[in-house]
Amino acid sequence: MPFLKFTSITKRFPGVLALDGVSFSVERGTCHALIGENGAGKSTLGKILAGVYSADSGQLFLDGQPIAPSSPLAARELGIAMVHQELAFCPNLSVAENLCLGDLPRRAGGFVDRPALRARARAMLATVGADIDPDTIIGTLSTGREQLVQIAAAVGTGARIIVMDEPTSSLSAAETADLFRLIRELKARGLTLIYVSHRMEELFALCDNITVLRDGHHIATEPIPSTTPARVVTQMIGRELRAQTPAHLTRDLGPIRLAAENLASPGAFTDINLVVHAGEIVGLAGIVGAGRSAVVQALFGLDPAVTGQVRVNDRPLALGSIDSALAAGLGLVPEDRKRQGLVLGLNCRENTALAALPLLTRLGLVRRTAERALAERYAKRLRLKTPSIEAITAGLSGGNQQKIALAKWLARDCDVLLVDEPTRGVDVGAKAEIYQLLDELACEGKALLVVSSELPELIGLCRRILVMREGTLVGELPPASFSGAALMQLMAGLPAA
Amino acid sequence: MLARLRALFRFQESGLLLVILALGVLLTAFAGTVRTPVFERAADGSRTRVFTANAEGERVPLLAEKNKFLNAQNLAQLAKDTSFIAVMAVGMAVVIIAGGIDLTVGSIYALASVVGALVLHRYGPEGLIPSVSPALGIVLGAGACLGVAALCGLATGGLIVALRVHPFIITLGGMAIYRGIAFVITKGQSVGAFPAAFRDFVRFEVGDGLSFVPLATMIVVLIVGWIFLSRLAAGRRVYAIGGNELAARFSGIRVERVKLGVYLISGLCAGIAALLSLGYYGAATSGDGQGYELNVIAAAVVGGASLTGGRGSALGVVLGALIIQMISSGIVILGIDQNYSQIIIGSVVIAAVVLDNLNTWLAKRRLTAAAH
């Protein structure tokens, strides 16, 4: 008898059939991968299991018993917990307070029993081998450590099934390795994990079985050893993905567009020297915290403390001012599209035009036809999937939001585009489209500096890759020596093998 | 036809219009009637009672029966009362959409009033330079009133930007400071005796007692506010900053400058309302406009401006101001004890925000559903 069984799960949202008769089983003590493009329904399925949504029809069976978790609390009582990307904790409270928030140990008179609180939190942290002081304020922990606390909360309250939604999307390489070790250990202890992710390598390294969803349909559930990444990708998108060599690599480089000399910012990075030519895509690799984002943000004028010389199109750039960066023709597609890239309450048209407003304005009035034409043009070019350019961006999928975050800077026609994590949390189809777009931009003679944590992305896209470690540049790789291993060694500071 | 109708219902402010319509119908239905004397206008503009003879042949005033709510005088009164609040509410809407709050408007209203009044007084019948040129006096007085209001707004905005303190705190302080200044410069005395022409202009009536100038001012402010918010690049920046300040900054928007601008606009709107009041009431004291900030914020919130920023419209807040005034006037007309009026208005504000939250929640649920 399967441990957990989904039978004909159907979930309809207004206008969308998110899940259409999905049936499959999960074995006890396994790590079960759930994969699919954005909108395939994998998050909805995870949320139904965790009690966030309830299914319109179909039935869940746990250990042969029909279950219908009506709330996250009800799911918890059944032993099902979810580890989110979003804030699950109160960032201003301590680890111990967060872990026991639902049931604070109390003394007579309602006073919190601090020693008991600490002891209980320490016991919960110990179940996942987490070396975290229970008095630490959650907000001061890194994403990876916070996630560990979430897992401790789940395991410590007796969860039997843990749903993880994109757990590694903002973890460093070392944190990811720690997480994998922990997942294997939990599995050995008999816990069952549902692992939702876009990252194929991880799934193949970690999981026992894989379920592929496409457009709300169940496509396949197979043991990992009997499938291949290529096969899964085909199942996900329903067609073959062609591996392409970007066209810009065969073209000649133009003049130097961006040159930075001795760029430094106290506490963030020092001694950064780099050039990017017209028609070139330069990658900036490094583990999380190496200072990559800080460098591109400083180039864009967001860091008032930065020193050094930057020349754009051979003219000196005044540092620490977004205005002069914009005037020089720089654009920045930031790391976190929801926080930094988009105004989610505005619609696609308004977001696309946001950075280009000065170009679309006559006597202070926004030229509406020009604005609409601009938004339509980029929606078409980037193959934006939206009912209308007047749709609110909050309702779009991650891939489509990322396209708008890019369109915003294309609309300004920047000479130099700084792109921080171009495809984070974006599905495979949209990823390929974004790569193609970046390639086209390079072919048009733009200079691109791309920061990414996904090494295959940099390897497949760039002409040169610069590697940062602890705030300095530690190496530069030409295409001939592109390899994941070479990059990882530089990033982590290991001696060459 | 059906599509038209549907478009009307999808129109953002249609809910507010429905509420106003419903309130109007209810007030008309329950107001009852009153018998009032009939006036007629003589050739020189003065109003005289009309008399008639009763059954005994005595000369008695002619009385006409009319609805307590739905009559020209009451509607004219409602229009005037709404104008003052609505003008300020448009300014408040701009601040709120940008993600801020402005508690100073009542105090700016008072300070701008008394400064304008001091200037107008000098050119008035009791002033030092009477009747030199009333027109010059009126222009200087109006300039002083609006100028002081704009300066106050700029000062508020400047402090918020420079000190990086939450606008609630800065404007809470500003509220006390501006009113304090108004008290100090007038020593708490009422200032009146303005050039007569000014009062005559603002109180100029059309039809059955409708003050034209406040109403026209409100409409102009509404149109300018609407153009600013929905058509100007500056307005778009206001929405962007209220929606996501960090993303706005990353888009190259000069956030500080826009913030300075929105408090300037709010101050200026308070100044325009102050100017109207100078003309209408013919005097000012430092105690004027006490508590207006709450009425104005209530109007903006009832009119759909979201206190979390990024959402709202000029038309919405003007309709919100109308709803608040209709309820206040309804309390009088329906003969409800005046002491209950604050309780009722407070409840209405809370109910409006709860309904709005519910609406946002439903919309969000539709959105997240569509994304999965």
Q: What is the DSSP string of A413-480?
A: T-SEEEEESTTTT--HHHHHHHHHHHHHHHHTT-EEEEE-S-HHHHHHH-SEEEEEETTEEEEEE-GG
DSSP 8-class letter at B241 = H
Cross-chain residue pair A394–B246, CB shorter than 8 Å: no
Q: What percent of chain B has pLDDT over 70?
A: 91
Q: What percent of chain A has pLDDT over 70?
A: 95
- Domain covering A4-237: architecture: 3-Layer(aba) Sandwich (3.40)
User: So what's the pLDDT on residue B367?
Assistant: 59
**Separation CA B364–CA A249 (nearest Å):** 44
**Separation CA A36–CA A195 (nearest Å):** 12
Q: How confident is the model at residue A241 (pLDDT cuts 50, 70, 90)?
A: very low
CA distance A121 to chain B (A): 34
What domain range includes position B310? 73-363
- Tell whether the model's pLDDT for residue B263 goes beyond 60: yes
- Tell whether the model's pLDDT for residue B370 goes beyond 60: no
- Of A10-14, A22-26, B168-172, least confident by mean pLDDT is A10-14
CB-side exposure of A432: number of CA atoms within 13 Å?
12
Q: What is the mean pLDDT of residues A287-315?
A: 91
- Tell whether the model's pLDDT for residue A324 goes beyond 70: yes
Cross-chain residue pair B371–A365, CB shorter than 8 Å: no
CA distance B41 to chain A (A): 47
Facing residues of A161 across strands? A80, A192
Residue bearing the bigger pLDDT, B205 or A312: A312
**Separation CA B47–CA B41 (nearest Å):** 5
Residue bearing the bigger pLDDT, A298 or A130: A298
Q: What is the mean pLDDT of residues B101-105?
A: 96
Yes or no: say if A301 and B252 are a contact pair by the CB < 8 Å rule: no
- Tell whether the model's pLDDT for residue A239 goes beyond 60: no
- Tell whether the model's pLDDT for residue A497 goes beyond 60: no
Q: Does A13 touch chain B (CB under 8 A)?
A: yes
Q: What percent of chain B has pLDDT over 90?
A: 52
Q: Does A256 touch chain B (CB under 8 A)?
A: no
Radius of gyration over every alpha carbon of chain B, rounded to an integer in angstroms: 23
- Tell whether the model's pLDDT for residue B288 goes beyond 60: yes
Residue bearing the bigger pLDDT, B111 or A460: B111
Residue bearing the bigger pLDDT, B39 or B297: B297
pLDDT digit string (tens) for A346-364? 999 999 999 999 989 998 8
B298 assigned to some structural domain: yes
CA distance B12 to chain A (A): 14
Measure CB to CB from residue B246 to each of A340, A350, A392 and give the nearest one.
A340
User: So what's the pLDDT on residue A27?
Assistant: 92
Name every chain B residue with its beta carbon within 8 A of the beta carbon of A322: 249, 252
CB-side exposure of B207: number of CA atoms within 13 Å?
10
What are the residue ranges of CATH 3.40.50.300 in chain A?
A: 4-237, 247-492
CA distance B313 to chain A (A): 14
- Average per-residue pLDDT in chain B? 87
A112: part of which helix (H) or strand (E)? none
Facing residues of B39 across strands? B49
Q: What percent of chain A has pLDDT over 90?
A: 45
User: So what's the pLDDT on residue A367?
Assistant: 93
Q: What is the mean pLDDT of residues B220-240?
A: 94
- Tell whether the model's pLDDT for residue B8 goes beyond 60: no
Measure CB to CB from residue B232 to each of A18, A332, A365 and give the nearest one.
A365
CA closest to B310 among chain A residues:
A345
Q: What is the mean pLDDT of residues A113-127?
A: 90
B369 assigned to some structural domain: no
Does domain A247-492 fall under CATH 3.40.50.300? My reply is yes
Q: Does A274 touch chain B (CB under 8 A)?
A: no
User: So what's the pLDDT on residue B372?
Assistant: 47
From residue A81, alpha-carbon distances to A44, A170, A394, B273, B369 in Å are 15, 20, 26, 57, 22
Q: What is the mean pLDDT of residues A316-336?
A: 93
B372 assigned to some structural domain: no
- Tell whether the model's pLDDT for residue A128 goes beyond 50: yes
Yes or no: say if A52 and A72 are a contact pair by the CB < 8 Å rule: yes
Yes or no: say if B345 and B329 are a contact pair by the CB < 8 Å rule: no
User: So what's the pLDDT on residue A459?
Assistant: 86
Residue bearing the bigger pLDDT, B276 or A289: B276
DSSP 8-class letter at A102 = G
Look at the alpha carbons of A178, A184, A189, A190 in this order and tell me if their dihedral is positive or negative. positive
User: So what's the pLDDT on residue A41?
Assistant: 83
> Distance of alpha carbon A124 from its chain centroid, rounded?
28
Number of domains in chain B: 1
From residue B93, alpha-carbon distances to A169, B98, B333 in Å are 39, 8, 29
Q: What is the mean pLDDT of residues B174-203?
A: 91
pLDDT digit string (tens) for B70-93? 888 888 889 999 999 999 999 999
Q: Does A395 touch chain B (CB under 8 A)?
A: yes
From residue B254, alpha-carbon distances to A4, A219, A322, B234, B259 in Å are 54, 49, 9, 10, 9
B216 assigned to some structural domain: yes
Q: What is the mean pLDDT of residues B251-255?
A: 93
DSSP 8-class letter at A243 = P
Yes or no: say if A91 and A170 are a contact pair by the CB < 8 Å rule: no
B16 assigned to some structural domain: no
Nearest to B117 by CA among B288, B280, B275: B275
B330 assigned to some structural domain: yes
Yes or no: say if A391 and A348 are a contact pair by the CB < 8 Å rule: yes
Name every chain A residue with its beta carbon within 8 A of the beta carbon of B234: 364
> Distance of alpha carbon A143 from its chain centroid, rounded?
12
- Tell whether the model's pLDDT for residue B62 goes beyond 60: yes
Nearest to B274 by CA among B144, B122, B124, B145: B145
- Tell whether the model's pLDDT for residue B371 goes beyond 60: no
Q: How confident is the model at residue B45 (pLDDT cuts 50, 70, 90)?
A: low
Q: Does A88 touch chain B (CB under 8 A)?
A: no
Yes or no: say if A153 and A100 are a contact pair by the CB < 8 Å rule: no
Q: How confident is the model at residue B203 (pLDDT cuts 50, 70, 90)?
A: confident
> Distance of alpha carbon A50 from its chain centroid, rounded?
21
Sequential DSSP letters for A451-467: E-S-HHHHHHH-SEEEE
Nearest to B115 by CA among B195, B201, B193, B183: B183
pLDDT digit string (tens) for A40-79? 788 889 889 988 888 999 999 999 899 988 888 888 889 9
User: So what's the pLDDT on residue A130?
Assistant: 83
pLDDT digit string (tens) for B112-123? 999 999 999 988
Give me the residue label for tokens 């030199």.
Answer: B132
Pairing, β A31-35 against β A192-196 = parallel
Distance, first Cα to last Cα, chain A: 48
B352: part of which helix (H) or strand (E)? helix B341-371
**In B, what residues contact A, Cβ < 8 A?**
231-234, 236-237, 239-240, 243-244, 246-254, 310-311, 364, 366-372
Measure CB to CB from residue A341 to each of B250, B253, B371 and give the nearest one.
B250
pLDDT digit string (tens) for A456-486? 788 889 999 999 988 899 989 888 777 777 7
Structure tokens given for B175: 């509220």
**Separation CA B164–CA B44 (nearest Å):** 59
Structure tokens given for B359: 């609406």
- Tell whether the model's pLDDT for residue A433 goes beyond 70: yes
Q: How confident is the model at residue A327 (pLDDT cuts 50, 70, 90)?
A: very high
pLDDT digit string (tens) for A389-401? 888 888 788 889 9
Sequential DSSP letters for B304-321: T--TTSS---HHHHHHHH
